[in-house]
A and B are shown apart, each in its own frame.
Chain A
């Protein structure tokens, strides 16, 4: 026979001071866990949002980042008129040869410098990336030293506002527009004209080439074609695949998140254990009475486990709620990207799956913490329980 759950719930509130501390402890543990997870999720999501399934990316074989990749103009000529590439209304291939340069620029708050990825794009480059839109000002004019900066980078770097000017490579660049990359990797970039970029940074070659394939089959054929051409030391792969592989940066965050969650949950388990032991201790007589009334050991055990689980579930829910404002308010965070060595900006992201994970995590903490005390409660001899004052 099981004890009614209200028995446990009421008991949780009888010892409210210790209970509040335990719930608060678990809530904070879950909150920290959730915040780290929403961060990692946001970072991964920014990579996932970037690729378009119709696009194919061409980089130098063996290079791990676009900024260290090279595609020469001679190589470009080998494939820019391949029939698999889609064409626009004027019959021009949908192809953007980009120049990606890492530029060190001063932060807005004066706390030193950080690297920004400056992408030089061909005019078609904007059409190939529909997730990028202009939110303020205008696009750069080809042949002019003008740039469009991301909305997310704007508050982080000095002079990143419309009309702002900054120097790099000995030249002065003017910000003429603000772009939004709808939570993709382009949120961490500055865009300008590809040829202008090559001239400012003295680049002979392009970094990468992005093409739109006519259809799925054509895309596969194109990839095969590049791969089989031994003269081209290039790698072609779908844009989605390319960005999906860019997950290195999220790893330390996940590592830190898991480490903190682990260490903190050990502390939380100790706390839950103490609370539950105290609870069992003060209810020794009560437990004896229940046993006399005919409750089995197993019912007592389950009852106390449920009490612990309930306690921590309350903490878990509060913890999830505590972690919610960051993703809801769209707070963005920036750090060094280990792939590009540029600043990457991303937002916190909460998903139902993460919330479920957080709650499950809290229940595990609660059950682990109350396991030993529950066993103790179940093992109390009936007589001893009744004798205790």
Chain B
């Protein structure tokens, strides 16, 4: 036997309590990890590899305001711009489902590959998409969700635009950060709308990262004081602008999460210190046998630490496995696409668990220090 096995045996002596303690720590840490990854996802949306070279141009009034189609040749002439495509959010409902279940964008099909270089799709599917003006391509996740296959017909009823569009599914792509969106020909959209001469946004690809600041400034200045002022920004900045829209609810949810974690930690700590308090007499015996206070503290600490770490292993490990290998979009009803359990989050959770282990051992340690051997021997179990 070593001190280690002694601590382990002691920790597991009341199996029911040890299990309950471990489980409550596990639940707390699972929750903590979940909230941390969700908050991270809200404040820091996942970044696409290709996003570094993409610029989004939207109306300065707001994203809901349209831009004149005649801006295109002007933007194309800006030095450093490799490709420009209109990018219009269609916002149609599919199969009468209440909410929008995936994004639908009208764009210049010939520019798709240049702008979204990270998408993967068989060559023949891409060619079929280019040729057929009524063709669309759809992300793998959405295709799976609705059991769609190449050749299927898809009907979208517009909620923003008063048209109903019918598409032939020409290709299924994957490999982007959000394999859920649908893309189709802007020409088809224009035709259906009777050439309104407006687009939702412009998305463009610049030649190199060095060109980026210049391109953004040039575009913003070009349309300043025109009837359709624009805001050009990197795709990253565009994505992050959404996080500001969440308003103070984000802060609020953050605060609630802190309370949640604090609560569970309080509860777990009290549970663990209870199990030690009930062994007062035994600790007194150990004292009589010659164990020093310091060693008893180490015992108590090691025991609650072991319980906390074991709980952390289950909670954090469980969260990691679930969010890494499980289907996040299915679990969250499409609210989140990915939930990445980063090393930093794991580190935070483990630190909290360690703090919890230490916190749980403080009260019993103080009591043990205060109680003399004689008093301790008198306490009944």
Interface residue count on the A side (C-beta < 8 Å): 66
Interface size class of B (residues with CB under 8 A): 35 or more
Instruction: Verify A264–B264 contact, CB threshold 8 A.
Output: yes
Per-residue CB proximity of B170-195 to A under 8 Å, as 1/0? 00000000000000000000000000
With a cutoff of 8 Å between Cβ atoms, the chain A residues found around residue B226 in the complex are: 170
> Which of A17, A22, A103, A256 is in CB contact (< 8 Å) with B267?
A22
Complexed CA–CA distance, A341 and B20 (Å): 45
Instruction: Verify A114–B247 contact, CB threshold 8 A.
Output: yes
**Residue A343 at the chain B interface, CB threshold 8 Å:** yes
> Which of B62, B64, B263 is in CB contact (< 8 Å) with A29?
B263
Per-residue CB proximity of B282-295 to A under 8 Å, as 1/0? 00000000000000
Known: A64-B159, A101-B65, A202-B227. Contact between A21 and B267, CB under 8 A? yes
Instruction: Verify A102–B160 contact, CB threshold 8 A.
Output: no
Secondary structure of the B contact surface, majority rule: helix
Known: A273-B20, A333-B252. Contact between A25 and B62, CB under 8 A? no
Instruction: Verify B249–A335 contact, CB threshold 8 A.
Output: yes
Per-residue CB proximity of B150-181 to A under 8 Å, as 1/0? 00000001111010000000000000000000
Known: A70-B162, A267-B24, A341-B64. Contact between A21 and B266, CB under 8 A? yes
Instruction: Verify A270–B159 contact, CB threshold 8 A.
Output: no
Known: A35-B256, A168-B61. Contact between A114 and B245, CB under 8 A? yes
Cβ distance A245 to chain B, nearest Cβ, rounded Å: 10
Instruction: Verify B274–A248 contact, CB threshold 8 A.
Output: no
Cβ distance A316 to chain B, nearest Cβ, rounded Å: 14
Complexed CA–CA distance, A264 and B268 (Å): 12
With a cutoff of 8 Å between Cβ atoms, the chain A residues found around residue B5 in the complex are: none
Known: A233-B162, A267-B24. Contact between A201 and B263, CB under 8 A? no
**Residue A89 at the chain B interface, CB threshold 8 Å:** no
Q: Given contacts A25-B263, A270-B23, list 11 more A-B pairs with CB under 8 A.
A: A28-B260, A28-B262, A62-B159, A64-B159, A68-B159, A102-B64, A112-B240, A201-B61, A264-B260, A271-B271, A333-B248
Q: What is B's interface to A at a CB cutoff of 8 Å?
A: 16-17, 20-21, 23-24, 27-28, 30-31, 34, 60-65, 91, 99, 157-160, 162, 225-227, 229, 240-250, 252-253, 256, 259-260, 262-264, 266-271, 274, 277-278, 333, 335, 363, 380-381
Query: Can you spell out 22 A-B residue pairs with CB atoms less than 8 angstroms apart?
Result: A18-B274, A24-B266, A32-B256, A32-B259, A32-B260, A64-B91, A70-B162, A102-B63, A107-B244, A114-B245, A168-B60, A170-B225, A170-B226, A170-B227, A253-B249, A260-B260, A264-B264, A268-B263, A268-B267, A273-B20, A341-B64, A343-B247
